[in-house]
Amino acid sequence: MSNILHLPITTLAKLIRSGEISPVELIESAFEAIDRGNPELNAFITLFREQSLEGARQAEREIREGHIRGPLHGMPIALKDIIHVTGAPTRCGSSFFSVDSTRPDATVTARLKGAGAIVIGKTNLHEFAYGVTTENPHFGTTANPWNTSHVAGGSSGGSAVAVAAGFSAGALGTDTGGSVRIPAAMCGVVGLKPTYGRISVTGVLELAQSLDCVGPICRRVEDAAVIMNALAGYDISDVNSVNRSVPDYTDSLSDSVSGMKAGLPRQHCFEDLHPDVESSVAEAIEILGQLGVEVVELDLPSIPDAHQATLTLLMAEASHFHRKRLAEHREDYSHDVREIIEDGRKFSASDYVAAVRVREQARREFARAFECVNFLLTPTVPAPAPLRSMMDTSEGSDSNRMRPRLTQNTRIFNLLGLPAISVPCGFTAESLPVGLQIVGRWWAEDELLRVAHTYEQATPWHGMSPNDNGAEADKNSVSTIRG
């Protein structure tokens, strides 16, 4: 493998501890890959070269002296430019907005640094994290590394590309309606949205306060577990953080899934699928069945109403958050973001209260469902990555028209606060990645990661990268593995 950052974090950590590679060499490799590939892919808004090299030298000294902080020690990690890093502005993909660089690190930034990770830069995003394509008129479009004619997904597109392209060992994104899982699926990597309140959002710019989550984007499920170990836990400064015990997420990854039960919500979640998405997900479900998972159909009639309720809450809360800024900088917003913020102002208090009631009804229905099944399975996104150049200066932009379709299977789990992970499960005929979404019970990220890891280890998708040119040749190789 030509790019060492395509290796798992745990493998890189072993190489560092054995002295086969130093943290300095790893950081240098990251920036060499960025220098080669970022001009075309446009994953980063800001890079921290000197700070990263100094951090790598410090990590090297600490490790040599036996002060090893864990598997993230010396790892290059990228953060979405909505997460505060002391010493750097947080622009949120905007032409006019900037958080003072003297602001303290976000809680997740501080926890990563405490685990020895090296923040190498801040990644591109859909403006104010309010979109699904990462076509940003101020910082440029982030291209899909599998086919640069297509979008990377959003809003955490830069973070997903940084991982898929081998620019970083892992990355953080934010997920309010699918913004970690959608780009992860479209870029062929792993993206985890935790239970609401599991990871602090202090120091992360708000989009919709009752829905916002921070989650890891990685090449392997085990990498996501490692990052979760660093991030999860109570934060008194976050009013929505929940004081609940946190397991070691790597402990049960290899436990058997035999005897577990998966539910398929066919209505809504399996409707209007691209044929290649449908076939890839069907094969993934079949493989889990062969691994001992019992698969049953589920009737969840609240899903369509919950889907709409999520949109109501998201748009209303985002419009409230941006109300003063929009009044002062209306023309500085990109058209698609301005359009949806202004549309959000049309919702009344009655609309908001009705959406909250739908959420409570849906929570009860899903709680009953989880008495019968351990997890749910759906396609992450019903279609592969769309072509670029979806931005439109006319009324009703293509980008906004795509939101309901691309968030069809993701945003309801933000409404419910459930943990959900996207793992690669195949490719389309055009060699664009497809994602399988696994949704767990509240606070059951360890179980969710175990199912995802078991599926990952039984299939070849996690071993592929955009540089391999092997997707076309290997796209049907699951049949060999199954045999």
The token duo for 172 is: 């953080």
Q: Which residues contact 312 (CB under 8 A, 6 or more apart)?
A: 347, 351, 352, 354, 355
Cα separation, 271 vs 426, in Å, equals: 19
**Structure-token match 């808004």, residue found:** 45
Bridging pattern class, strands 375-379 and 433-440: antiparallel
How far apart are alpha carbons 423 and 421 in whole angstroms?
7
Catalytic residue, chosen from 22, 52, 94, 155, is 155
Q: Is the dihedral of CA 419, 466, 291, 248 positive or negative?
A: negative
**Closest to 474 (Cα-Cα) out of 465, 345, 210, 483:** 465
16-21, long-range: CB < 8 A, 24+ apart? 16/63, 16/73, 16/74, 17/63, 17/68
In a 3-state reduction of DSSP, which class is residue 141? strand
Which tokens hold the place of 327? 């009044």
| Contact criterion met (CB below 8 Å) for 125 and 158 | yes
Active site residue 18: no
Q: Is 440 helix (H, G, I), strand (E, B) or coil?
A: strand
- Collapsing DSSP states into helix, strand and coil, what is residue 307? helix
Closest by CA to 384, choosing from 455, 432, 313, is: 432
Tell me which of 22, 52, 80, 399 is the catalytic residue: 80
Quick check: bond before 156 cis, omega within 30?
Answer: no
| Other Cβ atoms closer than 10 A to 356 | 15
Q: Which amino acid is at 99?
A: V
- Marked catalytic residue, from 22, 179, 210, 280: 179
Q: Is residue 185 a contact partner of residue 461, using CB atoms and an 8 Å limit?
A: no
Contact 84, 104 (CB under 8 A): yes
Active site residue 80: yes
Residue 466 structure tokens: 């955009």
Assess contact for 182 and 406: CB atoms under 8 A.
yes
Catalytic annotation on 389?
A: no
CB 263 within 8 A of CB 462: no
Q: If you ran DSSP here, which 8-state letter would residue 330 be given?
A: G
The greatest distance separating any two alpha carbons of the chain, rounded to the nearest whole angstrom, comes to 62
Residues acting as catalytic residues: 80, 155, 179
